[in-house]
């Protein structure tokens, strides 16, 4: 019986750890949706590029070899700027044509970015330079490795930073204004183009950070990792109520728990299917998703 209790607690912990990784990605996706009003299928590539750039910067591929934390920060900033560039080249020119052209364009951009990366680096698996032997920390009956604990701390810090930006800064207030009514925001004198670009930077950077955290926990990875994990992030975003960052955080935790409980007590062969079972069950009862608070 004691073993079953320990297994249950450890499954909860693993679910929360993975949920924290999903939450970072889901918040980035829902922020971009909130101000652009279209679902960006190229978002998963920001995860992939974040993970691969970190590997390259830490491994000396570009002629420099940074410590892993510095490489991760540099990769996140680069992908944030890259996200703004993708927006300006592919999405801004057709932003007035409606959500469907933007959606289809984002699918095409996703293929371009994924296949371009694969042509460059190949299909072989990569991994971050993290130690195979990891120090374990004990919290009562629950054990965590130092890397798992670091992932949770970084994720919580990111959620707090997003909360601060949304609630305490002019950028957050302007983002909420654009989300509510972009035309009215423009009439009020808000530079909507500038705010949208800043939101793209934050969104892409959050995606890159999610990719780095994923790579820390689940190495090795391949060029399709972002696209594959995007399905899970979509589930969390929809579950929490698309366009609502706090709902995305809650949805991510529920998805992480569902995946890990399903893998532990049912079958590990259908891990991501459990996420969608929970999503469908909730949406049948509450089509607008779980509202974790307004934008």
Residue 169 region, left (φ>0) first, then alpha (ψ -120 to 50), else beta?
beta
Confidence of residue 26 (pLDDT cuts 50, 70, 90): very high
Whether the predicted pLDDT of 224 surpasses 70: yes
Give the separation between CA 287 and CA 84, rounded to whole angstroms. 32
Give the separation between CA 161 and CA 154, rounded to whole angstroms. 10
Instruction: Tell me the domain boundaries of the chain.
Output: 2-129+140-285
pTM greater than 0.75 (yes/no) = yes
Q: Give the residue-averaged pLDDT of 257-281.
A: 85
Give percent of the chain above pLDDT 70: 93
Helices (H), strands (E): how many in the chain?
A: 11, 2
Confidence of residue 2 (pLDDT cuts 50, 70, 90): very low
Q: Give the residue-averaged pLDDT of 99-120.
A: 93
Tell me the two tokens of residue 100: 């469907």
CATH 1.10.3470 fits 2-129+140-285, yes or no: yes
């Amino acid at each position: 019986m004691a073993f079953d209790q320990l297994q249950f607690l450890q499954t909860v912990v693993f679910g929360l750890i993975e949920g924290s990784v999903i939450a970072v990605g889901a918040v980035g996706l829902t922020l971009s949706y909130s101000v652009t009003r279209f679902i960006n299928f190229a978002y998963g590539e920001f995860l992939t590029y974040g993970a691969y750039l970190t590997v390259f910067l830490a491994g000396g591929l570009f002629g420099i070899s940074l410590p892993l934390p510095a490489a991760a920060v540099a990769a996140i900033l680069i992908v944030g700027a890259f996200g703004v560039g993708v927006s300006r080249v592919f999405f801004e020119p057709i932003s007035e044509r409606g959500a469907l052209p933007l959606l289809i364009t984002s699918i095409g951009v996703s293929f371009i970015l994924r296949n371009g990366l694969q042509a460059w680096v190949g299909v072989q698996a990569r991994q971050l330079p993290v130690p195979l032997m990891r120090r374990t920390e004990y919290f009562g009956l629950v054990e965590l490795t130092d890397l798992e604990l670091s992932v949770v701390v970084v994720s919580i810090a990111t959620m707090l930073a997003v909360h601060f930006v949304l609630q305490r800064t002019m950028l957050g207030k302007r983002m909420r204004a654009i989300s509510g009514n972009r035309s009215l925001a423009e009439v009020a004198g808000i530079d909507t183009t500038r705010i949208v670009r800043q939101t793209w930077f934050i969104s892409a950077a959050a995606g890159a950070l999610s990719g780095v955290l994923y790579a820390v926990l689940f190495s090795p990875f391949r060029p399709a990792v972002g696209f594959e994990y995007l399905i899970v992030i979509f589930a969390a975003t929809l579950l929490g109520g698309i366009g609502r960052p706090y709902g995305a955080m809650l949805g991510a935790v529920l998805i992480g728990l569902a995946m890990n409980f399903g893998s532990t007590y049912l079958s590990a062969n259908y891990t991501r299917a459990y996420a969608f079972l929970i999503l469908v069950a909730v949406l049948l009862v509450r089509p607008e998703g779980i509202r974790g608070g307004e934008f």
